[in-house]
Copies of this chain bind each other. A is one copy, B any other.
Amino acid sequence: MTTILGIDPGSRKTGFGVVETDGASAVYVTSGIIRLPVDEPLGPRLGVLFTELNTIIDEFRPDELAIEQVFLARSPDAALKLGHARGAAMTACVHRGMAVHEYAARQIKQAVVGTGAASKEQVQHMVKTLLKLPAAPKEDAADALAAALCHLHSRQGLQSMPARARSRGRFR
C-alpha cells in the first residue's frame, strides 16, 4: 500500500489531499485546507503550515509528496509569497523523509481530466468522480488531490484510475 500526499500551497491557504493505492486502484483518504494566520508575521505563518503538515504526516503517514510545479508566476511579489509557502511545505515533507515529485499543471490536468487545458471546475468534477466522493472538494483541496492522483498515475501507469470510495478523516 502506497500513500501519496498532494498539496497545493498558497500564501493564504494550502490545500492538501491524501490518496492511497494498493497498486490497482486509487482510494480517497482525506483532504482539506490549511488556513494560514494572515494577520501574523511571515515566520509564525510559515510555522503554522509546517506544523499542520507535520500533524497530517503523523496521522496519515504518506510515503511521497506530489506538488504542482510553478512555471509562470504572476508577479515578483506573488512569486516570493508563493515561494515562501512552497519552501515551508516541501521542507516539512523532506524533513520527514518523503520524496518530492513536481508535476506541471498541464500534466496534472491531463492525468485527471484527459486534457491539459481543463478548467478548475473540470478538475474538481473529475476528482469527485474518480474518488467516488459525495461532493466536489473545494478548489485547493481538489487541486491537491489531483496532484496526488497524477503522481499515482505516473508512478504506476494506472490507466483509468478506478476508485473506490472509503471516507475516513475530514472532508472540508
Contact surface of A with B, Cβ cutoff 8 Å: 41-44, 46-47, 49-51, 65, 70, 72-95, 99-100, 102
Contacts and interface: CB of A to CB of B under 8 A. Distances in A.
Contacts of A65: 43
A163 to B, nearest CB: 27
A120 to B, nearest CB: 21
Main secondary structure of the interface of A (DSSP, over half): helix
Given A47-B94, A73-B80, 12 more contacts: A46-B87, A47-B91, A49-B91, A50-B91, A50-B94, A73-B77, A80-B86, A84-B84, A84-B90, A87-B87, A88-B88, A91-B92
**Pairs of residues from A and B, 8 with the lowest C-beta to C-beta distance, nearest first:** A83-B83, A87-B87, A43-B100, A47-B94, A73-B76, A79-B79, A84-B87, A76-B79
A99 B43 contact: yes
A11 to B, nearest CB: 9
Number of copies: 2
A41 B80 contact: no
5 contacts: A44-B94, A74-B76, A76-B78, A83-B86, A84-B86
Nearest to A54: B95
Contact of A91 (B72, B83, B91, B102): B91
A43 B93 contact: yes
A154 B68 CA distance: 40
A119 B143 CA distance: 45
Contacts of A102: 41-42
A17 to B, nearest CB: 18
